Amino acid sequence: MTIENILIYLFASTILFLIIFFNARIRKNNKNYKSIIFNLEKKNLIQIENQRVLDSINLLFENNNDPRQNLCNSIRIASDSNTVILSEMNTQNGSFQVTNFSSSSSIDISNFSPEYDEDKTLAIITGIEGTSKVLDYDQNKIFPGWFDEFDYKQIISIPIIKGFQTYGCIYIFFSEKNEGKILEKKLNHSNIITKIFQNLFKENNQVPDEKKAPEEIVAKNNVIPIIYDDNLQTIRFENSEISLSNSEYLILKNLIGKNGELLPYEDIEKILWPNNDGVNKSAMRLHIHRLREKTNTITNHIDFIKTVRGKGIFIDSSLF
């Protein structure tokens, strides 16, 4: 056998191996998403209506892209929209920051400001309520400022939930206003893609690398006998458990971290408004008040969060 024949044989063998390998990957992906779709349809959570939706679902399983980017591309096809934006929630301060987009026009998301808990803008409201919303252009009082970058008549916002925690918010921009069955169909198609994306998290038991966190972060501490869960943002005392808002949870976690020492009001302001944007002292004091009410509820009124007038708060561990 000549060297030329050997090279041809090796080349053909390599091509055959690649074909077999990629076919196996495709079959695995198809089996994966078909299994997810079947389970969702069986539970009557989704109903696949047409080929356009199936095509958009296929995009979710593209291996060469960030899954979040696949989500944006998929929803833009399913909803036949101009632009789709993914804004992820920062579990440390409750803000939402744009991370990915899919659009028919060029967009620079690097200058898009975060939406903070105190802003009560659309992502915050959608995340808190956990329901999709359809809004027209003239309802812009709750829109973040960077919405002005787009030419749109209508927007859909959809929360993305992982377990019991908000992961992010999807914004879908339309250049024309949709009504009736057309609007209903586009909303339904977008919800289908979002539900499948959420179930991909459950199937793979993971989120994108830069968003990854332990599945359950339950911590005990040496200050007070309270167990707190970073993932669900709950606290537990003996047999009682209660959920906290993002702001309340951040205050308590940092308060515990002070080991009984004073947590100054200035530090709390930096925790809640890390960019010093929109600092609201009245809102801060309201968060502290609500936190004290909730901790008193589960500890049978052990008022362990104490105030030093004009300076800050601390934990009185001697009460336990």
Q: Are residues 67 and 165 in the same domain?
A: yes
Q: So what's the pLDDT on residue 9?
A: 57
**CATH classification of the domain holding 257:** 1.10.10.10
Verify that 201 and 239 share a domain, yes or no. Answer: no
**Last residue of a domain, which of 165, 186, 211?**
211
Is 153 contained in some domain? yes
> Does pLDDT of 121 surpass 50?
yes
Under 8 Å between Cβ of 194 and 170: yes
Residue 58 confidence (pLDDT) above 50: yes
pLDDT band at 297 (very low <50, low <70, confident <90, very high): confident
Q: What is the mean pLDDT of residues 292-296?
A: 89
Is 205 found in the same domain as 257? Answer: no
Q: Summarize the confidence of residues 262-287 as an average pLDDT.
A: 88
pLDDT classification of 20: cutoffs 50, 70, 90: low
Helix 265-272 vs helix 246-257: crossing angle, to nearest 10: 130
**Residue 84's pLDDT is what?**
95
Is 186 found in the same domain as 256? Answer: no
Output the pLDDT for position 274: 82
Residue 134 in this model has a pLDDT that exceeds 90: yes
In a domain, 111, yes or no: yes
Looking at the fold, whether 206 and 62 belong to one and the same domain comes out as yes
Same domain, 160 and 248: no
Does the residue 14 lie in any domain? no
Same structural domain for residues 99 and 82? Answer: yes
State the total domains in the chain: 2
Among 160, 187, 211, where does a domain finish?
Answer: 211
pLDDT at 22 over 50: no
Residue 112, domain extent? 46-211
| N-to-C CA span, the chain | 86
Q: Is the domain of 159 the same as that of 231?
A: no
Confidence of residue 170 (pLDDT cuts 50, 70, 90): very high
Higher pLDDT, 306 or 199: 306
pLDDT at position 222 is: 53
Q: What is the CATH number of the domain that holds 167?
A: 3.30.450.40
Is the residue at 19 inside a domain?
Answer: no
Q: Are residues 81 and 57 in the same domain?
A: yes
Last residue of a domain, one of 211, 243, 278: 211
Mean pLDDT of 19-36: 50
pLDDT at 206 over 70: no
Cβ distance 254 to 287 under 8 Å? no
pLDDT of 87 over the 90 cut:
yes
Pair 207, 118 in one domain: yes
Is 297 found in the same domain as 184? Answer: no
What would the pLDDT profile of 211-234 be if each residue is shown by its tens digit? 444 333 444 455 577 887 766 678
Mean pLDDT of the chain: 78
How confident is the model at residue 174, as a pLDDT? Answer: 95
Residue 149 included in any domain? yes
Residue 264 in any domain: the answer is yes
pTM value? 0.53
pLDDT at residue 208 greater than cutoff 50:
no
Segment 148-166 shows an average pLDDT of 85
Is residue 35 in some structural domain? no
- Answer yes or no: is 23 within a domain: no
Confidence of residue 106 (pLDDT cuts 50, 70, 90): confident
Give pLDDT, residue 116: 86
224 and 265, same domain (yes or no) = yes
